[in-house]
Amino acid sequence: MSKSETTAAAETLPPLTHIPAHIAIIMDGNGRWAKARGLNRAAGHRAGTENLRRVLSAVVEMGVPILTIYAFSTENWERPRSEVRVLLGLIERVLDTETEELARNGVRIRHIGRISGLPTRVVNKIRQAEAMTRYNERLVLNVAFNYGGRAEIVDAIRAIINEGLDPDEITEDTVSAHLTTGGLPDPDLIIRTGGDQRLSNFMIWQAAYAELYITPIFWPDFDREELHKAILAFGHRQRRFGRVESDEA
């Protein structure tokens, strides 16, 4: 499809009536995308990174206020060293080359996950990007890097114990506030590309009532139109949060 045809197709998409306040994405399928093209996995991750730029601009344009992306899990350290190096190199490059433009576009960058264990150079760049964008309000972009949902809950429990809180006073809100997403609403919509039907240790506390949208499309191919489809599907979901409709009793 040519570029003008793609634009025309995008223009005919049905309007979005329900924009989620928080979308979280498990960007899966870079490796399979590359394999299908006879390329190596690094090429898949590079294509995935390029796609991130496109999806980010669509998300800003659609008026989504919070986006969380799963870029590197606490389990990803077990991948071959060369692949870990590629992923660390990519986040460094993204922070080097994209932070200024994101800052100009009103994006606030936040890291979620464990900072310990990351190379100092990466930590410094993350901290710099967070500081540079801290007053931005158009979009909060949580970058989950060295992130694991279980590790995050363990860290929250440690922090709660260290603060000496009375066990009887601990509520769900206490736990939420001590997660790395503390202060932000839970995701309304979790999108997983690449077709696997699991959460893979991603936001396992925050996902309690999130709507899940799983698509077989590999992450590098998940474009604006696919995002539009996901948000449209979200708009048709009935969210009951464990309750029934008042006239169903």
Q: Which residues are catalytic?
A: 28, 76
We find the least distance from the C-beta atom of residue 183 to ligand FPP, in angstroms, to be 22
Cα–Cα distance measured from residue 81 to residue 78, given in angstroms and rounded to the nearest whole number: 8
Asked if 141 touches ligand FPP (CB under 6 A), the answer is no
Strands (E), the chain: 22-26, 66-73, 107-112, 139-147, 189-192, 211-214
We find the least distance from the C-beta atom of residue 145 to ligand FPP, in angstroms, to be 7
Using CA of residue 182, residue 199, residue 217, residue 95, what is the dihedral sign?
Answer: positive
Asked if 59 touches ligand FPP (CB under 6 A), the answer is no
Nearer to ligand FPP, 58 or 143 (CB): 143
Nearer to ligand FPP, 7 or 124 (CB): 124
Nearer to ligand FPP, 178 or 222 (CB): 222
Cα–Cα distance measured from residue 196 to residue 188, given in angstroms and rounded to the nearest whole number: 19
**Which of these segments, 9-17, 84-92, 152-160, 236-244, binds ligand FPP (CB under 6 A)?**
84-92
Asked if 125 touches ligand FPP (CB under 6 A), the answer is no
